[in-house]
Structure 1
Amino acid sequence: MQKPFPKAWGKYAFVSDDDQQWHPLIDHSADVAACCEALLRQPLINRRMATLAGLDELQPALIARLSVLAFLHDIGKANRGFQYKVLPCSKSPRAGHVRELYWLFNPLDALSSQAYEALRMGEIASWFGDAAGYALLIAAISHHGAPWKSDDEAGVRSWWCADDHYDPMQTLRDMGDHLAPWFPDAFQPCTSFEAPSAFQHAFAGLVMLADWLGSDRGLFPYSEPDDGDRMIFARKKAVQALHAIGLDHGVRPSSSLGFDDLFSFPPNALQKAVEQLELAPLLIMESETGSGKTEAALWYFKRLFEAGKVDGLYFALPTRAAATQLHDRVRKMVSRLFPPDHRPATVLAVPGYFKVDDIEGRPLPGFNVLWDDDPDKRNPRFWAAENPKRYLAARIAVGTIDQVLISSLMVKHAHLRSTALMRHLLVVDEVHASDPYMNRLLEAVLDHHLGAGGYALLMSATLGTAMKARLLGGARAEMPSPLDAIKTPYPLLTVRGSDSSQSVAIGGKPSQKTVNIELSPHMEEPEMVASRALAAARAGAKILVVRNTVNAAVATQQALESLCQNDPHPPLFRCENVVSLHHGRFAREDRKILDACVEKQIGRERPDGGLIIIGTQTLEQSLDIDADLLISDLCPMDILLQRLGRLHRHKRDHRPAGFETARAIILHPGERDLSPGQRGLGRYGLGGYVYPDLRAIEATLRLLEQHECLQIPAMNRELVERATHPALVDALADELGPVWKQHGQDLAGQISGKKNSATSVIIRLHEPFRETQFPGKEERITTRLGAQDRLVDWGEGITPPHGPFGAPAHHLVLPAYLCGGIAPDAIAAIEQADGTGVRFRLGGAHFTYDRWGLRKED
């Protein structure tokens, strides 16, 4: 609709001096209320919300009453300061519309009484009880992502008083007059509903989602004068929008589709066991790397979806690279599972990437995205992929665990994420106990998700019983004894129902792999490591070298290249014909290229011939790697087993002579004493910030000294428990003496501190929403303790330089420990870019990014 407008506006778009478009506040409020109503009418969302409310279902009257509150979400826009801010000639102060509500909720002010009467707040309060009704209204007006904060300094009282041109109270009266005609069920006799705190928080997320939908002009075009009743239009569009995006209940796939049809191979013992399981809220799947846990999880999703237990899937991975790798596998499953006319989009939920199915997108100004399938048309199927805060609104999404953990944190739109997640099967891959901070966040997510009646599946090859007990029973869970833990079967499925947990051992005879172990005291000698790898590669083997730190990986790569100077055909890893290595300090675009090259050269369909790939922990997760020989730094046993999973991963009829049996060379410091504070820890990150629990590393080394060969997975359970069980590592510290005991006490303090840090930033869902306040500086709250990495900003209008493999380096991440002394708003200044990399200045520091990755210059 064009200016001038005769009544309050809710949305406004300035196109040009002659084209200024606006959308009435009442009509926008109708759009959002219709979306909220449509969401609450979805069977599974209704069920989840009802569970939080302690009800069997939300009846039509309660849905209507909650929709009334959603209709009132933008009442703050009625203030005169907000209405006049689009008028250039106006001398009135400009205002926002959320904090400014203070004057309407001040019980000592006459304005509050006028607003109370205009909006029929007396009746609304009687629907819920005064306390719950106020909390739900606060939840609705907090639709911008953070809980509303009453602040009398946010504006002036006169914003709510009439002048010669505009009367805010008349706008509120107009809104109040629409309540009964548009929501008649709300005003019918009905028992008052005292909304529990968890329900209030979930409702806040629902209104945030409804507001985002109702504010999308592509879904809800602005009104025109002759449109008629907006609510009739809005309700129709809301149903269409939910269906197009994938937020409705959806079409259930045919149950006649078998496992073989979905994955093109018959199920193994693990997958058969999952097929026969009774559907339960929480399933923990423990099995070795490469045993088909991913396909088993997807099959479990199919069963849950067909049964109407879930409406979608979020598959959470530990890293961006892992998510990118898995996305295509999930997309192929979805293409077989759903008929073409009802096939949901498979979203890659990784910030900086815009991908739905096999279609790529590019960001445009104004938070828009240009999609490759049809640049001239915006497809609502891509809606959830266009902003990270909307990822969990997708029916099918594959992304990082961070996107899930954010839903528990005191950051903007966390409630939206949490409420959208409730309808999904949440699958978390690579669950282990190495990070107390992230594990505490995951426990909070699971507590709310399962408490709402949701479903979750956790997968791990190396899950210790201590962490498993907490996931099943919370912080007060009973810890199994070391003997009981070691005797626990492996592989294993554990289901947690509403009252108890049950374990199911996997039958059959899982494929066993014998790994010969060689201990090498050359962890600090990259030349020796490179020499061993080169000798094996010259014999035709594929070698995987995994170092604990980037510095160690780079030093080993440099030593290897030096040894190969005179070799006409050196067995060096090349990416796009550029010699390189694999670690986390490459641009996002280059990591995608690196991952693809690694899998092509040392994956399932690898070519013949010797090859050496050197990298860090980025090689141990999710990549489909099949090495003939592993050379690895010493690390905790659960991590080492992950690395061993990349050794002889696939069955082959022929391997190079001398490598028919899997073999791993484990590097450790030349000094056997690993006591805390000893130089024997090595300059390449054996302890300290990489793997801080030296007790677990000492226990791992002792186990390797006792076993010249390992039987995988038969020994997995015993190896992990003997190296990680709290009682056993404490006993080891007692045996080793006071220095080690003090180390254990220091670690316990650090772990407690990390858990407390996590707890301090978790949303307190047991508290009423009206008492919830977020910190003022949310940028300090992260999903990983101390994770203050930052994106390098090349500056507006600057063409991103090309990285070493030919792709533009749009997204270059600077690790937090390299950011010291650099201003938060610093813009990178490119000093040199030659197509093989870039040298740039950020603040007063100089950096180089090339085939070695990103590094800070001295």
Structure 2
Amino acid sequence: MADSAAVAGRLWDEWVPGQVRRMVLAALPGGAEDARLLVVWLAAVHDIGKATPAFACQVEKLAESMRRAGLEMRLQKQMPDRKLAPHGLAGQLLLRDWLRERYGWAKPDTLQLTTIIGGHHGVLPTHTDIKALTDHPGLLRSRGSEEEWHAVQRELLDAAAATTGAAARLGAWSAVKLPQPVQVLLSALVIMADWVASNRDFFPHAPDASLTDPARAGDAWAALSLPTPWDAEDPDPELAGLFASRFSLPAGAAIRPVQKATVEMAHEMATAGMLIVEAPMGEGKTEAALAATEILAARSGAGGCFVALPTMATSNAMFSRLMAWLRRLPAHRDDPESVYLAHSKSALNADYARLPRTGRRAAADIDRDGADNNRNPRARERAAPSGLVAHHWLRGRKRGMLSSFAAGTVDQLLFAGLKSRHLVLRHLAVAGKVVVIDEVHAYDVYMGTYLDRVLAWLGAYGVPVVVLSATLPAQRRRELAEAYTGRRGGELARVAEADGYPLLTAAGRGQEPVLAAPAASGRRTDVRVERMNDDPAALAERLSDELRDGGCAVVVRNTVRRVHETASHLRRHFDEAGDGIGVTVAHARFLDADRVENDTDLLARFGPPDKVAELGGHRPTEGHVVVASQVVEQSLDIDFDLMVTDLAPVDLLLQRMGRLHRHLRGEGQSQRPERLSIARCLITGADWAASPPEPVRGSQAVYRLHPLLRAAAVLEPHLAADSEAGRTVRLPDDISPLVQSAYGGEPVGPPEWHDALDEARARHDAHQAKQAEKADAFRVAAPGRAGRSLLGWVDAGVGDADDTPSGRAQVRDSEESLEVLVVQQRADGAISTVPWLSERYGGRELPTDAAPEPWLARAVATCAVRLPFPFTLPDVLDQAITELEDNHFPAWQAKECHWLAGELVLVLDADCRARLAGHEITYSRADGLEVHHAE
């Protein structure tokens, strides 16, 4: 109890950001003094439930000595009902009774504090839990020695109140109505204090130690060595100097109007608010967001920031940019800042792996009622004058987001809206930061349902939020503002009605929204669009003709199956024709290590000129075609002369078009082949002869019919135009009109299409309603009225929600997918890494009767790949897991082999083939994973 109280005090004084402290102290009559006192006192009493027979009976030797002192209790085996009294819940009831007896609290008023004690192991109790324990009073105080137990419990609680100083304030606190967000933050701080104090590396067992010895807590705190929060200062208002000092801008680069307006609006915003930045691709939104983050953090007291992105690939790219920005921030002290890459493959990211580690590697935190509540058997917690560190204690799926700075997948943010164990820690992790949400248009209704609820909590916490998008429908803009501000109806009508582009929107609780429409930077790309039939032969002939003088084309397919089919056909055609045109494949179904190399190769050939030079690559001079899935939409800064794309929702089509003539290559694009000097996009993947067009089945499965038909309808005037000028989509001028029209409610397209469009909309609306209802089943409630406790807050939740396939499936509308580590069985029977890895790692023989050396195990871990759709079907999934587990290597499951323990391994034969759950699997370095149903 004393150790936890001491840690809580240190956390409050040295780790909790000012943004969080201000919220807690604002809810209490004694302000800052009350806030610190309440945190320390709650930590001191959180384990009072251990002073009960239900807990004490677990170690018979110690229980017997307690019996001799007059505290009777049954043997553990004689208490089968003790599961009704986990020590958190027991503590809640004991504290409730004590507050009523000692300080006259009304029973309902006790709940807002006692529930914090009841939920300190991550799951907040329910009324049913309380009633069940109340009906078994012998678990709290044994019959025959009720008064002896009561006296001990009272003595401990009295001592905690007196020692911490809370005794003088508990009477005044009885009238306080704590806002629910404050209760959440207090709960999280108690859990943190408990985890640190329960760790034997920091607080070794010392029965003779003085409970008030400051050296004990001081030594523990020094060993823990938590970095203090970011102390941001308002940056230099001179924009050119600010951007030049924070970002690697080309010599003489001008600050773009969107960037200037974003910084100005951040300065003008209230401390708490949401800033939505809508601007074309390539306008520098990320730099604008980071500059705004610095301003908002300085004014709000935020202790860091989190940048949320759609995918691991975009997260990895952003992490490098975040690190570069952090290294250029003013350094005002010697303490390092903690940094975290928030996704399940962070340990394999080179930039993250190179960060210095600080803080002692600690043993597991154990504080239990018979089971280790804090250990996840599949968790992978591993242990520059940058001042940036990956802290040992702030690692892993439950604690990593508590680091000051993080970039990662949006799942990490959405988890804050999911009823799950230790949800309060996820809230504490974001409540003290500025939150930046990039590519917000990429999230469907299911994810958006969670995002809206998280925004409601961020608004309640007063967290500054910056939202970025190039293609945001007006209605979605309004929904985001409504979620954050808690306001509905006509109050935010202006947000939806604004039609400027670029567009900035600032919205806060109790404030009128502010909108601004800065000019675009002047960068323009005119893209000629035309229909193209979905005929592989016609595609091959067209590309042969277009690339006869050289040039780089990209063919974007909506499914990996179509990527493979297209690449195979093009290779055959080009080989037979002797065109000399190369074909590269890019999609998400490559081994992790291969995908990183693929991305680097794409940047080295098709990236901006400075990146190509940095990577020592060169743009192909002969004709070349990249056949890709959606991976080229947003995660890579690459640039092509010609595009062929499957029909997709219009916002995604525009994102794809943004990869055309993205960078200036010579005056007037003169360095491109003459016939490709004008950007052109051929739209295929549909039967254009039908009325309305009929998208291919794979596209309908991915995006559904309605948004595909709306995209075709709003593009129809361009596609049907009888002049080249009419067939031009002008970027960025046409982005917002096309997006708003496609996602609006007005009829679009030829009149003869309207019946089919109406039917598709009805089905789409029903699907979206079903998505929202499905997401709502496990969505945490919105912030309730002040004084209402968190009792039952995560009732009927999902249990642990970590960054695992099952966890991600909870916040994305997807089935749990199966990830495997790929190795190869050579002709001689030996198991090895796949041969095409780097010289050090490729083709290395792996021991099967012992754990591989760590460097070799890590090489295997980089060879993970997620199996495609057929393996999400329950019967196929179960069969596949059974077959893979039959082939596992027991020695690789040792906990010391943290790279491989708990992972499933797929063994390919010498020809890189395998049979799994009735499917034939092949893998090649050129094309990645392919799956076919076995005959």
Q: Return the TM-score normalized by structure 1.
A: 0.82
Label 1:844 to 1:667 Cα distance change in 2 as closer, same or farther (>3 A): closer
* Residue 411, structure 1, aligned to residue 412, structure 2: no
CA RMSD in angstroms, aligned pairs only: 4.2
Is the aligned partner of 1:196 residue 2:179?
A: yes
Decide which of 526, 533, 542 is 1:532's aligned counterpart. 542
Instruction: Report the Cα distance in structure 1 between the residues aligned to 2:59 and 2:913, rounded to whole angstroms.
Output: 44
Aligned residue type for 1:143: H
C-alpha contact (below 8 Å) 2:527/2:731 kept by paired residues: yes
Question: Where does residue 475 of structure 2 map in the other structure?
Answer: 466
The structure-2 alpha-carbon separation of the partners of 1:105 and 1:428, relative to structure 1 and needing over 3 Å to count, comes to: closer
Structure 1 residues 58, 389: closer, same or farther in 2, change over 3 A?
A: farther
* Structure-2 residue corresponding to 1:584: 588
Q: Compute the displacement of 1:60 (Å).
A: 1.6
Question: How far is 1:444 from its partner?
Answer: 1.0
> How far, CA to CA, are the matches of 2:420 and 2:136 in structure 1?
28
Q: Tell me if structure 2 keeps the 8 A contact 1:836–1:850.
A: no
String of CA shifts for 1:795-838, please: whole Å, max 9, x gaps: 9xx98954865553553323455222132964623674368856
Could you tell me how far apart the structure 2 residues matched to 1:566 and 1:521 are? 22
Deviations 1:217-239 (A, max 9, x none): 55x23243454335734654686
CA distance in 1, matches of 2:286, 2:231: 23
In structure 1, how many angstroms separate the alpha carbons of the residues matched to 2:103 and 2:677?
75
Q: Name 1:681's counterpart in structure 2.
A: 695
Task: Return the alpha-carbon distance in structure 1 between the equivalents of residues 735 and 83 of structure 2.
Answer: 56
> Which residue in 1 is equivalent to 2:503?
492
- Does residue 270 of the first structure (1) align with residue 258 of the second (2)? yes
The match for 1:789 is: 817
Q: Which residue of 2 aligns with 1:506?
A: 518
Are the equivalent residues in 2 in contact too, given 1:620–1:643 (CA < 8 A)?
A: yes
Match of 2:560 among 550, 560, 564: 550
2:531 aligned with 1:519? yes
Q: What does residue 447 of structure 2 align with?
A: 438
Alignment of 1:286-297 (within 5 A): 286-297=278-289
1:682-738, Cα deviation, whole Å (9 max, x unpaired): 24424665565344233244143244111110121111112221x225x66986354
In structure 2, C-alpha distance between the alignment counterparts of 1:464 and 1:831, rounded to whole Å: 43
Q: Which residue of 1 aligns with 2:707?
A: 693
What secondary structure sits across from 1:775 in the alignment? coil
Please, which runs of 5 or more residues in structure 1 have no aligned partner?
1-25, 374-378, 574-579
The sequence identity of aligned pairs, in percent, is 24
Amino acid across the alignment from 2:203: P
Alignment partner of 1:714 is 2:733: yes
What are the within-5 Å matches in structure 2 for residues 798-837 of structure 1? 801-802=833-834, 805=837, 808=860, 809-815=862-868, 817-820=870-873, 821=875, 822-823=877-878, 826=882, 828=884, 829=887, 832-833=907-908, 837=912
Shift in CA distance, 99/73, structure 1 to aligned 2, threshold 3 Å: farther
Cα distance in 1 between the residues matched to 2:831 and 2:795: 37
1:252/1:306 contact within 8 Å kept:
yes
The match for 1:747 among 761, 764, 767 is: 764
Determine whether 1:649 maps to 2:662: yes
User: CA deviation digits over 1:738-778, x for unaligned, max 9?
Assistant: 44323222221211221222233211132631133432654
Three-state SS of the structure 1 residue aligned to 2:125 is coil
Per-residue deviation, 1:566: 5.9
Asked if 2 retains the 8 angstrom alpha-carbon contact of 1:539 and 1:656, the reply is yes
Partner of 2:328: 336
Matched, 1:131 2:108: yes
* Alignment CA distance shift 1:827-1:544 (3 Å): same
For residues 82 and 626 of structure 2, what CA distance do their matches in structure 1 show?
55
Number of residue equivalences: 800
Which residue, out of 195, 199, 203, partners 1:221? 203
Q: Separation in 1 of the partners of 2:81 and 2:8?
A: 18
Instruction: Answer yes or no: is the 8 Å Cα contact 1:516–1:710 preserved in 2.
Output: yes
Match of residue 670 from structure 1: 687
Confirm whether residue 180 of structure 1 aligns to residue 170 of structure 2.
no
Corresponding residue SS for 1:769: coil
Give 2:901's aligned residue. Answer: none
Per-residue displacement from partner, 1:116-163 (whole Å, max 9, x unpaired)? 66x56634673xx53242232222331222222454879986654569
Quick one: structure 1 residues 347 and 287, their matched pair in 2 at CA, closer, same or farther if it must change by over 3 Å?
same
Q: Partner amino acid for 2:168?
A: F
Question: In terms of mean alpha carbon deviation, does 665-674 or 688-697 score higher?
Answer: 688-697
The aligned runs of 1:709-788 (5 Å cut-off) are: 709-725=728-744, 727-729=745-747, 736-764=753-781, 765-766=783-784, 768-775=789-796, 777-778=798-799, 782-788=810-816
Query: In the alignment, is residue 604 of structure 1 matched against residue 608 of structure 2?
Result: yes
The one-letter code of the counterpart of 2:816 is Q
Following the alignment from structure 2 to structure 1, what is the Cα–Cα distance between the partners of residues 579 and 78? 70
How much has 1:317 moved relative to structure 2? 0.4
Q: Name the structure 1 match of 2:404.
A: 395
Alignment of 1:373-384 (within 5 A): 381-383=390-392
Quote the residue 1:67 is aligned against. 40
Q: Distance in 2 between matches of 1:392 and 1:733?
A: 50
For each residue in 1:330-364, what CA deviation from the matched residue of structure 2 results, as whole angstroms up to 9, or x when unmatched? Answer: 10110111428344233211113225954359999
Which AA in structure 2 matches 1:784?
Answer: R
Structure 2: state its 5+ residue gaps: 64-74, 364-376, 613-617, 800-805, 824-829, 843-858, 888-904
Cα offsets for 1:75-102 (capped at 9, x unmatched): 3444455445467999733999996437
Q: Structure 1 38/556 Cα, relative in aligned 2: closer, same or farther at 3 Å?
A: same
Structure 2 Cα separation of the partners of residues 384 and 531 of structure 1: 58
Q: Which string of whole-angstrom CA distances, capped at 9 and with x for unpartnered residues, describes residues 437-482 of structure 1? A: 1112111111110122110000100011111111123484459999
Give the TM-score normalised by structure 2.
0.76
One-letter code of the match for 1:510? G
Select the residue among 677, 687, 690 that pairs with 1:660.
677
8 Å CA contact retained: 1:430, 1:459: yes
Task: Report the counterpart of residue 85 of structure 2 in structure 1.
Answer: 101
2:24 to 49, 61, 66: 49
Cα distance in 2 for residues equivalent to 1:835 and 1:83: 59
Query: Hey, what does 1:23 align to over in structure 2?
Result: none
SS at match of 1:341: coil
